[in-house]
Amino acid sequence: MIRIFQKNTNEDTYYTLLKKDLHRTAQDIQDAYSNLENAIEPDLIDCYIYELNAVQMRYKFLLATIKKMEESLP
């Protein structure tokens, strides 16, 4: 009966890790934009464009996962 009142710590830990990863990914997006703005060599520009696209896709995934978790909360 006590289990009813206890939070599921695994879900809370997973949610917290997702939020931290989302914030870290947002910082990675800012870094990728900064690198892209400062790049001069065409190969580096291409590299930073690919990096930016990958980080943006990761951000979208994390955001969607967090939203699904928040919707499933009571």
Q: Structural domain boundaries of the chain?
A: 11-72
Contact call for residues 55 and 25 (beta carbons, < 8 A): yes
- For domain 11-72, give the CATH number: 1.20.58
The predicted-structure confidence for 36-56, as pLDDT tens digits, reads as follows: 999 999 999 999 999 999 999
What is the secondary structure of 29-46 as a DSSP string? HHHHHHHHHH--SHHHHH
pLDDT on residue 10: 64
Mean per-residue pLDDT pooled into runs of 10, the chain (74 residues): 52 90 97 95 95 97 94 78
Q: Compute the Cα dihedral for 14, 59, 46, 34 and give only its sign.
A: negative
For residues 59 and 63, give the distance between their C-alpha atoms in angstroms, rounded to a whole number. 6
pLDDT on residue 73: 73
